A and B are shown apart, each in its own frame.
Chain A
């Protein structure tokens, strides 16, 4: 007989500048001197990583919220329908064929495009004539994912040593990868997609009752599912293009966001984006300081933090905004 408990959003908003300031002032080089060129460069570098972390975390978490709502499954995440393996394959191809050496944006562009193409293929495989069903999507997503992952492994095995290292680094995720114009474009895309998703929040709420119930409530379900999938893919592909394949964020942050504000999708994309951004900034700070001057891949940190966190959430899932 538990009653609902929801928390306000303002503490999260308040946490953003605090966490960012903390991350800016922490690092292998200690507290840098603003007056020296070297100090300014260090601060600029850290600021770039913080902003990338906010954008990538927001993108992954927002995409996770949408996937879990559309697929009505607590284990859904942005990568479940093959965006990650598609983007991974694209990036690996770009490295393998040497495009990455020709242009700075070759790897992110290849990842972005192949990620979106993959999800389009998955969607049309699942739809085959009519609208795509949840199980159809999951099934075709898993199959396409499996095929692409193995192609990725093939390329990794064929790649020369230094190429393999950069592919691996990319698969594990890294906030330092992105170039500045790319960050701006990606930030704008993520912000835009999150705003549209927030406006569609009430209809996403209805879709969690299932496709037919949402239809009865006046939702144009086919259009909504396709549109939200497209937005989620855009979010995930942008995040992947900016920072490689960072796992766990898109899976656990939506759960944390629901635990905070409840299952209302008019608030969830925004709240998940804030939590996701903060989470990545913290994880990145840990990744670049814990064994300084060495740096560990951020994907390792998110997994090490995320695993136990997710377990704890599962153990008290009734209050976590997801009821079996």
Chain B
């Protein structure tokens, strides 16, 4: 595999303000790379460096083995094409005329290769599915159609490297997908090297096998999505709380978390499991409660939620009955709390001891009493009796999260 782009110790900047510091980066031919990073991290500047728009203050850039500074404008345009965020023209170009601008500059010594030019334009139109738009005015297209037309113009250059500067930031989710799928296809079928800057971490994780994360003009990390999109790294770079999770199909999801609610200082211990606590945990965290949770098995949906929210949790090994040690931890958490919440959790022999934790803590209990019998999977059918005992001892029953929050206000 040969390198499409090599940056060696590249520095660049605007006047007195350096933007890129000592960037070294190699992009192999045929790769799909997303450049990520917060505003002002230097993503766009790095793209401008690669197209020769931004002069270097240090280091060197090689495109397909050739020094960028030695490339003539026409040679560069045959290697690299660029899709900016937005292209506007005051002229009433039709889509076909616009795409033909990709061949603005004569290709070789003999400028008369009109047939080749026409063929390149037709191919670009076909590839981007813009054939039926060819006679429409570019300025009258929708955002997604415009972006496809611009990509077609770039493809008419027949480049080996396509650079895109946040091409999807003006598009709705449907057209974003459309553009990214087009890039994926171009990469797969034509071996086109694709480098794109993006603010959308989720789409980048889904569509780009290689990521590069920039921060303050330096490379913070490069590699596969799982290596780059790490929670602590992202929090450091983006300066916000966020959670990295995988959904059921293994897709990486990066979710920013809301912060800033004033803490009440009151503690609540939540007994949940199997997803019954997801909403409760989130709502309580947002409301400013100090939340603890457990006991839960690792890998349980609620355990993942608790982890993402930074909730202290008593954790048991996956698929194991709750051991005495973990139950003791849960007991301590429950005793430290001002109130205990029991969610609409199914009980079996593995987790039923959590009800003992609630009973023994000696704190007010808010107990979900919805369809108790249906949720009872213990061999002796002991749950309804345990619930009754708790209620007799003064536990408040609730059925919906909104009721729970109202009850909790009273505790406060």
Identity of the chain B residue whose Cβ is nearest the Cβ of A321 in the assembled complex: B92
Q: How many A-B residue pairs have CB under 8 A?
A: 104
Q: Which residues of B contact A2 (CB under 8 A)?
A: 137, 140
Contacts of B406 in A (CB 8 A): none
Interface flags for B97-111 (1: CB within 8 Å of A; 0: not) read: 100011111000000
The verdict on A216 contacting B77 (CB below 8 Å), with A209-B87, A262-B97 known, is: yes
Closest-by-CB residue of A relative to B81 is A216
Bound-state Cα–Cα, A229 to B36, Å: 40
Query: Per-residue 0/1 for A299-324: is the Cβ within 8 Å of any B Cβ (1 yes, 0 no)?
Result: 00000000000000000001111111
Contact between B92 and A217 (Cβ–Cβ < 8 Å)? no
Q: Does A233 contact B (CB under 8 A)?
A: no
**What per-residue 1/0 map shows which CB atoms of A1-18 lie under 8 Å from chain B?**
111100000000000000
In the complex, which residues 42-89 of chain B have their Cβ closer than 8 Å to any Cβ of chain A? 51-53, 73-74, 76-78, 80-82, 84, 87-89
A263 close to B102 (CB less than 8 A): no
How far, in Å, is B334 (CB) from chain A's closest CB? 62
**Chain B residue with the shortest CB-CB distance to A201:** B104
Query: What are the residues of chain B within 8 A of A324 when measuring CB–CB?
Result: 90
Is A258 at the interface (CB under 8 A from chain B)? yes
User: Is B105's CB under 8 angstroms from A323's CB?
Assistant: no
Does residue A100 face the partner (Cβ distance < 8 Å to B)?
Answer: no
A218 contacts B87, C-beta separation under 8 Å: no
Q: Which of A202-224 contact B (CB under 8 A)?
A: 202-203, 205-206, 208-210, 212-220
Query: For residues 249 through 301 of chain A, which have their beta carbon under 8 Å from a beta carbon of chain B?
Result: 258, 262-264
Question: With a CB–CB cut-off of 8 A, which chain A residues contact B74?
Answer: 218
- A217 near B105: Cβ-Cβ < 8 Å: yes
Q: How many residues of B contact A (CB 8 A)?
A: 34
- Number of residues of chain A lying within 8 A (CB) of chain B: 35
Per the bound structure, the CA–CA distance linking A215 and B76 in Å amounts to: 10
* Nearest CB in chain A to that of B74: its residue: A218
Q: Say which residue of B76, B77, B135 sits within 8 Å of A3 (CB atoms).
A: B135
Task: Decide if A216 touches B82 in the complex (CB within 8 Å).
Answer: yes
- Asked if B136 and A3 make an inter-chain contact with CB atoms under 8 angstroms apart, the answer reads yes
Q: B101 touching A258 by the CB < 8 A rule?
A: no
**Residue of A203, A209, A217, A262 touching B89 (CB-CB under 8 A):** A209
Which residue of the partner chain A has the closest CB to B104? Answer: A206
B91 touches A208 (CB 8 A): yes
**Given the contacts A321-B92, A323-B91, A323-B92, A218 and B104 also touching, CB distance less than 8 Å:** yes
8 of the cross-chain contacts (CB-CB < 8 Å) are: A4-B97, A4-B136, A202-B104, A213-B87, A215-B51, A215-B52, A322-B92, A323-B140
A interface residues (Cβ-Cβ under 8 A, vs B): 1-4, 69, 72-74, 202-203, 205-206, 208-210, 212-220, 258, 262-264, 318-324
Q: Beyond the given A218-B73, A262-B93, A263-B91, could you list 16 further A-B residue pairs with CB under 8 A, ordered by the A residue number?
A: A1-B140, A4-B97, A4-B136, A202-B101, A212-B53, A213-B84, A216-B82, A217-B101, A218-B74, A218-B78, A218-B157, A220-B73, A318-B92, A322-B91, A323-B90, A323-B140
